[in-house]
Amino acid sequence: MNVLLDRGQTLLHNAGDQSRLRRLNTLAVIEAIREQALTIPATAKVTGLSKTSTDSLIAQLVELGWVVAVDPLAPVGAGRPATRYRFRAEAAVVLGVDIGRHTVRAELADLNGEVFASADTPATEQDGPLDVLSSAVKLADRLLKKAKRERSSVWAIGVAIPAVVYNDVITRGPEGWSGVNVKEVLGAHFDCRIVVENDSNMAAFAEAWRGSASDVSDLVYIHSGNRTGSGLVINGSLFRGSNGAAGEIGAIHEVGWETAQKHLHAVVLENGTVVDRESVFEAASKGSASALAAVRRFSEDLAIGVAALVMTVDPEIVVVGGGNVRAGDVFLDPLRTRVEALCIARPAPPILPSTLRERASITGAVGYAATTVQELLHAAAASGTSLPQADIHPSRWPSAQG
């Protein structure tokens, strides 16, 4: 699912002149072959362009370095098999960074968002923002060195952070982070587009991009782990609100998200054993009555905020991610039951476990960066005199000059 742009036919319908129309048609071709190599006739069928136009556009894209020919498929009948063409996703790279409370992760991916290198390093809540961001830069440099790439090959960076972000500045987050401009700090090391988002927003993006919600337009994402957070996708777009705080319902103490974890700590099992969060879920899955009661109380506290978001957004589905989702229906079933009881004005939507689990926010950071490059390419095609060559950095594309 595309959660940022409305490309393709909409762009073609808005074309104002033949030169611009041709540039936008080239983008339609790129989108057609981005995920799978296609022949010229197959590409023409997907885009709705004529074979003659498609042939011309692909020839231009090959010359510009955006497209390459690949070996034909094995022939299935008489005649020579047709050449296929694919998007050169390896022309540059994007970087995803996930700044967690205990770990900083970085992943390097191609322009399709396919990850080919990753690394992480420990972090503590005592580490200052500049130290943490310096660790992120070091991780990025390590990955680039391994991939034999320079910093200049990074065309976009997506950063996920457990904080409210407004105009790239953290307005509410871990101690010591308020007022930090993450984009500005990283921009001293990388000359590229940098996008910084709340980690639950990035996770919601990831679920709509390649996760449990890739076929819906409206979703509520709930992160449930050592803390609880949420992100929203509405009408196919990540929804941040006017100050970047959309979905931050857990900040309201009365909702109960800040204190729900207490139900999972120091739980006394029937045999006298005292267990905490992960062991509580395990004991509940084995039928422990006290563990099941603790999980039910925890789920019911979460359900209040989930139901409030459901009644506000009216989503197609709710996706639950984070470490607690490993418990499966032991955790989700009581959550579903309570949400259903609270949603008196509409049927409760399906509540599904994330397929990305703990990887949702880093996947979102990578996907956001990759999609940002697509945005830049579309902006260049809409405003420039010609489509840029694939070896030219986006900072020098026509859209970056105007």
Alpha helices for 147-197 (secondary structure H): 182-187
Mean pLDDT throughout 328-334? Answer: 95
Is the predicted pLDDT of residue 203 greater than 60, yes or no?
A: yes
pLDDT of res. 382: 79
- pLDDT(11) > 70: no
Q: What is the DSSP letter of 241?
A: -
- Is residue 7 very low, low, confident or very high in pLDDT (cuts 50, 70, 90)? very low
pLDDT at 9: 37
Confidence check: pLDDT of 189 > 90? yes
- Would you say the C-alpha torsion 207, 344, 298, 308 has a positive or negative sign? positive
* pLDDT value for 97: 98
- Distance from the first to the final alpha carbon of the chain: 29
- Which pLDDT band holds residue 16 (cuts at 50, 70, 90)? very low
pLDDT digits (tens, 9 = 90+) for 50-98: 999 999 999 999 999 999 999 876 665 555 678 999 999 999 999 999 9
Query: What does the pLDDT read at residue 191?
Result: 95
State the pLDDT at residue 76.
55
Dump pLDDT digits (tens) for 272-291.
Answer: 999 988 899 999 999 999 99
Which fold, 92-205+360-371?
Answer: Nucleotidyltransferase; domain 5 (3.30.420)
Q: How far apart are CA 249 and CA 302, in angstroms?
A: 11
Q: pLDDT category, 35, cuts 50, 70, 90?
A: confident
Cβ contacts of residue 161 below 8 Å, gap of 6+?
A: 99, 170, 173, 177, 182, 196, 197, 198, 199
Task: Answer yes or no: CATH 3.30.420.40 is held by domain 215-355.
Answer: yes
Q: pLDDT by residue (tens digit) across 345-396?
A: 888 999 999 999 889 999 999 999 999 999 998 888 877 667 889 999 998 8
Q: Which CATH architecture is the domain 1-87 placed in?
A: Orthogonal Bundle (1.10)
Residue 399 has pLDDT above 80, yes or no: no
Distance CA 333, CA 45 (A): 45
**Mean pLDDT, rounded, for 22-34:** 90
pLDDT higher than 70, residue 402: no
List, as one string, the DSSP characters of 369-398.
HHHHHHHHHHHHHHHSSSPPPTTS-GGGSH
Amino acid 121 reads T
**Strand ranges inside 182-244, DSSP E:** 193-198, 219-224, 228-234, 237-239
**17 pLDDT above the threshold of 80:** no
pLDDT at residue 277, as a whole number: 85
Domain boundaries, the chain: 1-87, 92-205+360-371, 215-355
Distance separating alpha carbons of residues 95 and 156, to the nearest angstrom: 6
% of the chain with per-residue pLDDT over 70: 92
Given this model, what pLDDT does residue 384 score? Answer: 67
Q: What is the pTM of this model?
A: 0.90
Q: Is the pLDDT assigned to residue 118 strictly greater than 60?
A: yes
Is 70 exceeded by the pLDDT of residue 258? yes
